[in-house]
């Protein structure tokens, strides 16, 4: 397994457009997390899934954001009507919580969004 | 709510010199503490963690961190740095065993000067 992969790595879009990011976690991991990182800041928690269930959403996740993990494997994060303030690196991480592991988070390299 | 403060945004250090990256946290309950490292063009990687037990924890590449409950600190240290240690280091806390909802600091960029 090559780790957590994210696609696309870079996305440039115009304000008002919709964008979608995909995350493929490590195959045996049951938990998947999304974080957002803006310039000069540490990553901020957005939401996480256990299998296909979305267990928690941060207040940072406005109504324009939606995340899914339909089959408990890959996940998508969609941003509708993008705004310049959405420009950030979107990080995905996975872990094997409750599966005999201590739940270490494994991060992907991120998807960088630039909204013009 | 918990928070993490990394006061030093950038730390330049000569090769083979010691380094300390500072991390202080704020929480009304017990926390679990982590240091993550991000090498250039790579994703975040767990460097070391404190969950319970010995307050001094070590990584495989010579870093160590000590949990100090009275000072609410979890400073990262290495006695002799190498060029390969150039990276950004993030301190993080969690309220739950298993790394859910990590709260990260703003990061410290460590630059090693040859």
Judging contacts by C-beta atoms under 8 Å, the chain A residues touching residue B36 are 107
In tens, the pLDDT along B55-75 reads 899 998 899 999 999 999 999
For A36, the closest chain B residue by CA position comes to: B104
Q: Note whether B103 and B94 are within 8 A (CB).
A: yes
Q: What SS3 state is found at B72?
A: coil
* Exposure string for A55-85, b = 16+ CB within 10 A, e = fewer: eeebeebeeebebebeeeebbebebeebeee
B41 — pLDDT class (breaks 50, 70, 90): confident
Token readout for B59 is 């990584």
In tens, the pLDDT along A66-115 reads 999 998 899 999 999 999 999 999 999 998 875 545 667 889 999 999 99
Judging contacts by C-beta atoms under 8 Å, the chain B residues touching residue A4 are 43
Residue B97: the pLDDT is 63
For residue A16, pLDDT beyond 60:
yes
B27 — pLDDT class (breaks 50, 70, 90): confident
Residue A26: the pLDDT is 93
For residue B40, pLDDT beyond 80:
yes
Interface of A with B in 92-111 (CB under 8 A): 93, 95, 97-98, 102-105, 107-110
For B49, the closest chain A residue by CA position comes to: A104
Our CA-based measurement puts residue A82 at a distance from the nearest CA of chain B, in whole angstroms, of: 25
For residue B112, pLDDT beyond 90:
yes
A to B CB pairs, distance under 8 Å: 60
A40–B90: do the CB atoms touch at under 8 Å? no
B43–A43: do the CB atoms touch at under 8 Å? no
- The span from the CA of B99 to the CA of B114, in Å, is 36
A1 — pLDDT class (breaks 50, 70, 90): low
Chain Cα centroid distance, residue A91: 5
Contacts of A115 (CB under 8 A, 6+ apart): A13, A14, A15, A82, A83, A84, A85, A86, A87
Out of A45, A104, A108, the one facing B101 most closely (by C-beta) is A45
Out of A3, A105, A108, the one facing B102 most closely (by C-beta) is A105
Residue A27: closest CA among A91, A89, A99: A99
- The span from the CA of A87 to the CA of B4, in Å, is 23
Residue A111: closest CA among A2, A18, A1, A12: A12
């Amino acid at each position: 397994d090559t780790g957590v992969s994210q696609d696309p790595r870079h996305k440039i879009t115009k304000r008002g457009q919709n964008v979608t990011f995909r995350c493929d976690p490590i195959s045996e991991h049951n938990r998947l997390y999304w974080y957002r990182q803006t310039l000069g800041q540490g990553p901020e928690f957005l939401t996480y899934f256990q299998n296909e269930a979305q267990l928690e959403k941060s207040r940072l996740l406005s109504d324009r954001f939606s995340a899914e993990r339909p089959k408990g494997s890959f996940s998508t994060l969609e941003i509708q009507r993008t705004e310049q303030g959405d420009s950030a690196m979107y990080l995905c991480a996975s872990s094997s919580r409750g599966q005999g592991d201590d739940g270490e988070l494994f991060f992907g390299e991120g998807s960088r969004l630039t909204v013009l | 709510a918990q928070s993490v403060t990394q006061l030093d945004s950038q730390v330049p250090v000569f090769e083979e010199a010691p380094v300390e990256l500072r991390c202080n946290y704020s929480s009304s309950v017990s926390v679990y503490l982590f240091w993550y490292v991000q090498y250039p063009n790579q994703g975040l990687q767990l460097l070391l963690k404190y969950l319970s037990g010995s307050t001094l924890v070590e990584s495989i590449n010579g870093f160590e961190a000590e949990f100090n409950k009275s000072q609410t600190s979890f400073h990262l240290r290495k006695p002799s740095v190498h060029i390969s240690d150039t990276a950004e280091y993030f301190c993080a806390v969690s309220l739950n065993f298993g790394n859910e909802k990590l709260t990260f600091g703003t990061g410290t960029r460590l630059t090693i000067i040859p």
